[in-house]
Amino acid sequence: MEASPTTTTFHDHIDHAVSNAIKISRRDVDDMNSREGDPPVRFFTTLSCVVLLCAAPLGGQIEGADPYSIRLVQNNMQIAEAGLAGTLASVNKHLQRLGDGISIALLKIMEEQNFTDPKTVEASLSLIRLSFSYPQIISLEADKKPKVTLFLLKHLDQNVFDSQTKRDIQETIQYVERQTKSQEQVRPTKQ
C-alpha cells in the first residue's frame, strides 16, 4: 500500500527522530566539551534513544519496499558520521547479512562530494567491514562476492587525498578479500 504524498509514514517519523537525536547529541557533546563536571543526563538519554531508534527500521523493513536496505544504511551512516558508536545486535545482524549489498546502498545514498570527504568515507568503511564480518550469514549468494564493494573501495581510494583514510581504505580492501576468501574455503565447490 503506497502512502499518499501528504501522509507521514512510520519511516518518516523514524528519520525525523534520528535526525533530531543526532542534532541534540552533537549539541550536548559540545556542551560537555565546553564545561567541566558530570556529563549531562540528557546526553546519555539522547544517545540511548538513538541506539534504540536504529532498530526501528528493522520492524518496518519489507524486502519489496526497500530491497537495497537504503533506509537502514542511511540511518547507520548518519550515526557513524556523528561519531555515535554502537548499535543493537539486531541491527548489526541485519547489516552483516547485506554483504556486497551494502555497497549498492552506499552508492545510491552517497553524493559525488561524499567520495572525497574523509568523515563520510570512514563511516562507509565501518559499515562495509561490518557487512563482511560474518560472510557465512550473508543472505544472498551473489552478495557473498564483493564485486561492487571492491569497485567502490578502489574508487574511494582514487578520490581521497587524506593519507590516513587511504590506509584505512587499503586495510578494508584487504579485510574484505580475506573474509570472502576464508568463506570460499569453507564452502564446498560445485562440480
C-alpha cell read off for 149? 564493494
C-alpha cell read off for 132? 563482511
> pLDDT tens, 144-181?
999 999 999 999 999 999 999 999 999 999 999 999 99
Q: Is residue 30 part of a domain?
A: yes
Place of cell 551494502: 102
Residue 188's pLDDT is: 57
Q: Is residue 5 part of a domain?
A: no
Residue 57: phi, psi to the nearest 5? Answer: -60, -25
Residue 66's pLDDT is: 84
Q: Is residue 2 part of a domain?
A: no
Q: Is residue 37 part of a domain?
A: yes
Please give the residue range of the domain that contains residue 148: 11-186
Q: Is residue 176 part of a domain?
A: yes
* Percentage, residues of the chain above pLDDT 90: 48
pLDDT: which is higher, 6 or 142: 142
Q: Is residue 148 part of a domain?
A: yes
**Residue 95: pLDDT band with limits 50, 70, 90:** very high
- C-alpha count within 13 angstroms, C-beta hemisphere, residue 151: 11
pLDDT: which is higher, 65 or 179: 179
Residue 59's pLDDT is: 47
Number of structural domains found in the chain: 1
C-beta separation of 101 from 65 below 8 A: no
Closest listed residue to residue 53, CA positions, set 82, 11, 93: 11
Q: Is residue 159 part of a domain?
A: yes
| Residue 64: pLDDT over 90 | no
**Which region, left, alpha or beta, applies to residue 182 given φ > 0 means left and ψ of -120 to 50 means alpha?**
alpha
Number of alpha helices (DSSP H) and beta strands (DSSP E) in the chain: 8, 0
Range 101-120 average pLDDT: 94
Q: Is residue 191 part of a domain?
A: no
Q: In one letter, which amino acid is 160?
A: V
